[in-house]
Structure formats: C-alpha cells, structure tokens
Amino acid sequence: MIRRFSVNDPQTWDATLLRLPSPHILQTWRWGTFKAGYGWRPFRWIWEDERGRVRAAAQALYRRDRFGLLGILYLPRGPLLDPTDVEAAEIVLRDLEETAHRLRAVFVRIDPEIVEAQGPTAEGPRDPVEVPLKTALQRRGWRSSAESVQFPASLWLDLTVDEEELLRAMHPKTRYNIRLAERKGVTVRPVGPEAFDPLYDLYAETARRDRFVIRPRAYYRQAWTIFYEAGYAYPLLAEVEGEPVAMVVIYRFGPTAWYFYGASRDRHREKMPNHRLQWEAIRWARAVGCRRYDFWGAPATPTESDPMWGVYRFKRGFGGRYVRFIGTWDYAPWPALYRLYTGLIPRYLAWLRRRHWRRVGVEPG
C-alpha cells in the first residue's frame, strides 16, 4: 500500500528528492519558498509504501484568483517518480485529482521531466521511449495542455566523461570558437551578489534586443540570491578588457546543472564570449560532481522555421543529446469551468486590450 504524507522540514524534503530519479531544482524547498513570495502556497508531499520506501514526491504550488474563489495547482517539473512505476503513478494522480476537488482548483497542471523521445542533436528525436505515466494520464482523463510553462524539450550533456572527450564530441565550429575566444582575450570569472545588478542589466539589454519579456529586477535578484547563498547557483561573467559582455547563471541540484539564465551584448560578439562562457560553466558543473548539464530549452520539433532555432543551433554545437518530454498535462474537476478559464476568458481579455488600444489610437506592439 502506498500512502501520501506531508513534509514540513527543508532538509528532509531536499534529501528525499535526492533519493528519486532525476531530482529537479524546481521541486526543491528553496524554489517553493521563493515562489511563496509571489503569491503561491507550496504543498510538499511524499508517497511511501509499507516498507518505508519513497515511491514519489511532489511540490505543488497553489494560488487563488484575484477574487479568492477559484485556484490553480501547478507542479513545476513534477511529480518526481520512476516513470515505469505504474502503481505509484496511479496513486499520485488519484491524490492530485482529489486535492484539486478539495481546493476548488480549476485545474491541476503537471509537466514532469520524463523523456518520451530522444536522439542525436543533429537529427532531433528518433528513438521513442515507453512511458507508462503518459498512458496512465490518458486513461484517467487528464488532457494534454495547449499551454506550457516549461520548455517541451532540452539538450542533455553527459558530464561523466573527461574534458578531452567533451571537446571531441562538440561540433568543430563550436570547439574552434571556444579557442578563438581564449585567443581574443575573453576572460570568464565567477561573481556574487555584488554583480547581480550588472548581470540584470545585461539580461534586460538582451531582452530588448531579442524581444522577450522579463520580470522586474527584484525578482531575479531574489531568485539568484536565495540559491547562490545555498551554493546552488553559480553566476559567471565574461569580459573583454574588463568590460562585461556576457553572463550566465547556472543552477545545480543533485546530479544535474541547469543553464537557466544567459545574456550578452552586441559589442565584442565576434570574439565569441558566449562559447567560452558556456564551456567554463560546463567545466564547473563537472568539477562539482554533476553528471548532467541541462541546456534548458529546445523546440518540440527542431526546424529552421522555429523561433528558437538560432539558440538551439548554438546549444547543440556542444554535443548534447536531444530529449523531448511528455509535455504538460491538466486535470480539470469541472470541464466546463476549465474551458471558460483557459479559453473564453483569455480571448475576452485580449479583445478588451485591442479595443482599448484602438480607442486611444495606438496599435499594440
């Protein structure tokens, strides 16, 4: 028999995650604490069998709407469990469904980092992987969500080999650019909280250039600080003659390091600072004992028409393995309310915004 228990101790929680396959940074106690500062209430559960063996764990983030009437429940990169453990999967899903009813949640959303296809980066996913959890989701009436919070795929680099083998597995141009950056005087150094404002400035400059939305400065300062102080975040700054030109913030937990944040300015791009920066991040992750470097984000179907193609092409040059996950899944206790919440209301709000812009004589950009 498998039973669910709540966990209220940070050390116990993180230690439990490390006993499960592929523990994820977004399921750690610190991530839940960080998100609690932005309106989310974390729940942390483990599932044990009669022998005391942990079969699954899940950190669920819950928040109500602005009127306090309805809520949503989200498990970032959860639940954590052996993807072949059908018994545990059925019980975890059942308990999440019951919790959604009890909390009056419009839906509960999961996006576990469970691989359904993989293959060499140059070819994309070619080898399907059997996923009993996905079969259980379909059987229990969960639906594949059209909206994803996390990326649908990624590139994983095996760090259990030595540096020479890592270099040999790279695309020749990537290897050349790493050495070019060294010859051109690009230096890379670790930084701490004293540099978080310049790091954010680089990130904001990149967002303006590449036209993606970012959060306010305080959000990233807190996100970086809480993990930096715990030894789980490693910011790196690339410079040319003392001028900051690029940055990354790498997170780590258990056997994995994640390339979460990266930015660069146009100046000195011909010196390839991003290649040197990424290589130093990989070397650091390997040195601290990580077995996998996760490049954090790739298209579901890698094609040149995809907006992420340029970033994907840069990442795949480092020789990682392409993996595609089972995606985002929702359970809706009340299907009609779910359709209203996820479909009609967003379209109505978009219509109101368009009408406002037309009224004031400005076209939305």
Q: For 55-99, how does the pLDDT look when each residue is reduced to its tens digit (9 = 90+)?
A: 999 999 999 876 667 899 999 999 999 988 999 999 999 999 999
pLDDT tens profile 97-118: 999 999 999 999 999 999 998 8
> Is the domain of 24 the same as that of 146?
yes
Least confident of 123-127, 191-195, 270-274: 123-127
From CA 177, how far away is CA 182, in angstroms rounded?
Answer: 9
125 belongs to a structural domain: no
pLDDT tens profile 332-341: 999 988 988 8
pLDDT tens profile 220-238: 999 999 999 999 999 999 9
300 belongs to a structural domain: no
What is the pTM (predicted TM-score) of this model?
A: 0.90
Confidence (pLDDT) at 352: 47
pLDDT tens profile 2-43: 999 999 999 999 999 999 989 999 999 999 999 999 999 999
> Is the domain of 11 the same as that of 56?
yes
Give the total number of structural domains in the chain.
Answer: 2
Supply the range of the domain harboring residue 102: 3-114+130-152+325-333
Q: What CATH number did the domain enclosing 203 receive?
A: 3.40.630.30
345 belongs to a structural domain: no
> Is the domain of 165 the same as that of 284?
yes
Confidence (pLDDT) at 361: 43
> Is the domain of 108 the same as that of 176?
no
> Is the domain of 212 the same as that of 247?
yes
357 belongs to a structural domain: no
> Is the domain of 27 the same as that of 65?
yes
> Is the domain of 22 the same as that of 40?
yes
Number of C-beta neighbours around residue 106 at 10 A: 22
Q: Are 296 and 252 in contact (CB under 8 A)?
A: no
> Is the domain of 211 the same as that of 264?
yes
355 belongs to a structural domain: no
Q: Are 332 and 106 in contact (CB under 8 A)?
A: yes
Residue 148 corresponds to which tokens in the numbers above?
């994803």
For the chain, the three-class secondary structure string (H helix, E strand, C coil) is CCEEEECCCHHHHHHHHCCCCCCCHHHCHHHHHHHHCCCCEEEEEEEECCCCCEEEEEEEEEEECCCCCCEEEEECCCCEECCCCHHHHHHHHHHHHHHHHHCCEEEEEECCCCEEEEEECCCCCCEECCCHHHHHHHHCCCEECCCCCCCCEEEEEECCCCHHHHHHHCCHHHHHHHHHHHHCCEEEEECCHHHHHHHHHHHHHHHHHHCCCCCCHHHHHHHHHHHHCCCCEEEEEEEECCEEEEEEEEEEECCEEEEEEEEECCCCHHHCHHHHHHHHHHHHHHHCCCCEEECCCECCCCCCCCCCHHHHHHHHCCCCEEEEECCCEEECCCHHHHHHHHHHHHHHHHHHHHHHHHHHCCCCC
CB crowding 243-257: b at 16 or more within 10 Å, else e: ebbbbbbbbbbbebb
Examine the fold and report which residue of 264, 290, 316 is the final residue of a domain before the chain moves on: 290
Identify which of 62, 75, 73 has the alpha carbon closest to the alpha carbon of residue 17.
75
> Is the domain of 64 the same as that of 198?
no
Residue carrying structure tokens 């919070």:
149
Confidence (pLDDT) at 360: 37
DSSP bridge pairs for 240: 186, 243
Confidence (pLDDT) at 303: 87
Q: Are 237 and 197 in contact (CB under 8 A)?
A: no
Confidence (pLDDT) at 341: 82
What is the pairing mode between strands 3-6 and 243-253? unpaired
23 belongs to a structural domain: yes
Q: What Å distances lie between residue 129 and 81, 84, 156, CA to CA? A: 16, 11, 16
> Is the domain of 142 the same as that of 44?
yes
> Is the domain of 143 the same as that of 17?
yes
The percentage of residues in the chain with a pLDDT greater than 70, rounded to a whole number, is 90
> Is the domain of 93 the same as that of 12?
yes
296 belongs to a structural domain: no
354 belongs to a structural domain: no
From CA 248, how far away is CA 281, in angstroms rounded?
Answer: 8
From CA 145, how far away is CA 323, in angstroms rounded?
Answer: 19
pLDDT tens profile 130-176: 678 888 999 999 999 988 899 999 999 999 999 999 999 999 999 99
